[in-house]
Amino acid sequence: MNDILTYNDSVLDEMINDSSASFFERFTGSTEDKSITITLHTDASKIESMRRIFDDYTLFQNKKDDFCIKAIQNLIIKNNFLELSLELSEDQITEDDYTKEIENNPHKYIIDIEYVQDPNDIRVINEIVKKIGLEFSVDEVAEIFSLDSLDLENKVAQIK
């Protein structure tokens, strides 16, 4: 067996982007017959710490996905409403038809406003907005993600 790699501590911690924790005391890698074996040396508390970081990351990614989907759904609802309003303004439908359509299909035309339940959601929303690369007001962000703008503003102020 040939040792191909020996590693101690800080490099992997930087890769995981958490220099406050040392997850592995060391790891070694070796080759034998075209296979590579990597051995990690650590203890249970470090494994638990790493698991929590990965769980937090997974939760963050899942929330990010949920918020992106919500934003797209809201855009579709807004477009549906604008199309229906245009039909009304161009006299393609009557006011009664307009009202009935909204009453019969609220899921197509009405966006339910929600409140920020988890302060970490602000971090998730901020990450999405930064990636869009445009400046948005609190009201615009609230509209995109169907959040109450006053609640959003208060939550942002709390974490500053």
For 118-144, b/e burial (b = at least 16 CB within 10 A) is eeebbebbeebbeeeeeeeeeeebbbb
Residue 57 has pLDDT above 90, yes or no: no
Q: What is the domain partition of the chain in residue ranges? A: 2-42, 48-159
- Which pLDDT belongs to residue 1? 44
Total-model pTM? 0.69
- Which pLDDT belongs to residue 55? 87
- Which pLDDT belongs to residue 22? 62
Encode pLDDT of 9-44 as tens digits. Answer: 343 444 444 434 566 677 778 888 888 888 877 888
Encode pLDDT of 64-120 as tens digits. Answer: 999 999 999 999 999 999 999 999 999 999 999 999 999 999 999 999 999 998 888
